[in-house]
Structures are given as structure tokens and as C-alpha cells.
């Protein structure tokens, strides 16, 4: 049996995370789901009902919005970066030389070296090939005489989920891409004002 992941949103539709089906059922049984959309991610069958003798069925939608506000994403708060998300954000390219690096062969480089207080955040980590990472070593960009090909950024919540490498089903992907595109267009409009 395939274990489905359910896309969890906050009340306003902001993507929070992918949760397992047991967590989704728990939220459903506690009445925490405000609204849902997408197809049915999993159908669970229970025992026989005393009322009508039918087998009980619980259908869990693939996208749920919940009252829980404990995991709301705050872009101002530094977050620990995820390796797969950085690889996807940087499109599998070394951010120093531009060479393509494989998912197993890439290294993470701290722009501000960790030994000098550089944090493990999306804005301080980039995808690097072994040669460039070795060349830069424990130096700053200026000391190593190197430049970045692109400025590292914090992916929005939808992009993080898309890039995380986890199994995202079609209707969840459609929602996340729509959310990411909306955020991108709103950001470009705000910059023009």
C-alpha cells in the first residue's frame, strides 16, 4: 500500500507542509479541517456500523486547510536549509562555475564560512561542485577571488515543498505551482510600485 502525503495549508491557504495520512486523519477526527480540495488521497475502511451494517469508510482529501497556526511560515525568521531544496533552487548547477552536478555529487558551500559564523540558511548556502568548493575552502568570496552566478534566496513555502523531493501528487502540485506563481507576480508588482 502506498503511503499518501497530504498537503497541509493554514486557514488562508498558505502551504505549511506535507503530512502523513495518520496525521491527516487525526486532524479530521478532531474537527481541525476547515476546508479541503483536490482528489481523495487515501480511503480508509473500518469495521461494520451497528446502525446499518455497512463498512465504515473515511476519505482523506489530498489538500486540507486547518485551524492549527503553530507552523505558519515567517520569512523574517531564519530557517535551517534543506539540502534537496537548495539543489532544486540552484537547478543542480554549481553556483561558482555553472557546471551541472549530480544529486549525489554536489556539495553545499557556505558563502560566509561556517568557521566565521556563517549560518546554515538558504541565503548563505549554495550548490557547489567538489572542485569549486575545495578551491573556496574556508575563505570568503573576496579572499578566494570567486563570484556567485546567482544570488541565493529563501524559496517561498510552495517552492520549498515542490523542491523538497517528496512525492507530491498532481492536484497538490497544481495548487503549489499556482501559489508560487501568485507570490512571484505579487512580488514583481510590489517592486514596481
Residue 184 lies in a domain: no
14 and 37 assigned to the same domain: yes
Give residue-wise pLDDT tens across range 21-75.
Answer: 888 988 988 889 999 988 888 888 888 888 888 888 888 899 999 986 655 555 5
Residue 99, C-beta contacts closer than 8 angstroms, at least 6 positions apart: 93, 129
Residue that wins the pLDDT comparison between 187 and 175: 175
47 and 109 assigned to the same domain: no
Q: How many CA atoms lie less than 13 Å away from 12 in the CB half-sphere? A: 5
Residue 186 lies in a domain: no
Rounded to 5, what percent of the chain is helix, strand, coil? Answer: 30, 25, 40
Which triple of cell numbers denotes residue 21? 495520512
Buried b (16+ CB within 10 A) or exposed e, 120-138: ebbebbbbbbeebbeebee
Q: What is the pLDDT of residue 1?
A: 42
- Tell me which of 144, 160, 181 is where a domain ends: 144
Which residue range forms the structural domain that includes residue 16?
1-71
Residue 109, C-beta contacts closer than 8 angstroms, at least 6 positions apart: 95, 96, 125, 126, 127, 128, 132, 133, 136
Residue 167 lies in a domain: no
Q: What is the pLDDT of residue 108?
A: 92
Helix (H) or strand (E) holding 157: helix 157-163
Residue 94 lies in a domain: yes
Region 72-96: mean pLDDT is: 75
Write down the residue that cell numbers 525568521 correspond to. Answer: 77
Could you tell me the pTM of the whole model? Answer: 0.58
Residue 102 lies in a domain: yes
43 and 106 assigned to the same domain: no
What's the CA gap between 153 and 150, in Å, rounded?
A: 9
Give residue-wise pLDDT tens across range 117-149.
Answer: 999 888 999 999 999 999 999 999 999 999 999
As for how many domains the chain has, the answer is 2
Residue 99 lies in a domain: yes
Amino acid at each position: 500500500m502506498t503511503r499518501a502525503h497530504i498537503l497541509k495549508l493554514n486557514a488562508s491557504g498558505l502551504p505549511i507542509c506535507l503530512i502523513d495520512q495518520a496525521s491527516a486523519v487525526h486532524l479530521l477526527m478532531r474537527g481541525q479541517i476547515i476546508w479541503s480540495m483536490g482528489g481523495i488521497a487515501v480511503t480508509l475502511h473500518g469495521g461494520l456500523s451497528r446502525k446499518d451494517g455497512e463498512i465504515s469508510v473515511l476519505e482523506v482529501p489530498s489538500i486540507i486547510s486547518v485551524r492549527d497556526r503553530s507552523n505558519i511560515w515567517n520569512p523574517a525568521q531564519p530557517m535551517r536549509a534543506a539540502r534537496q531544496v537548495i539543489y532544486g533552487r540552484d537547478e543542480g548547477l554549481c553556483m561558482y562555475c555553472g557546471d551541472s552536478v549530480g544529486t549525489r555529487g554536489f556539495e553545499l558551500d557556505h558563502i560566509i564560512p561556517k568557521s566565521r559564523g556563517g549560518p546554515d540558511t538558504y541565503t548563505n548556502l549554495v550548490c557547489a561542485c567538489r572542485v569549486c568548493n575545495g578551491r573556496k575552502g574556508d575563505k570568503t568570496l573576496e579572499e578566494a577571488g570567486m563570484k556567485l552566478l546567482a544570488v541565493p534566496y529563501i524559496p517561498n513555502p510552495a517552492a520549498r515543498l515542490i523542491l523538497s523531493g517528496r512525492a507530491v501528487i498532481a492536484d497538490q502540485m497544481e495548487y503549489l505551482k499556482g501559489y508560487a506563481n501568485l507570490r512571484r507576480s505579487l512580488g514583481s508588482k510590489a517592486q514596481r510600485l
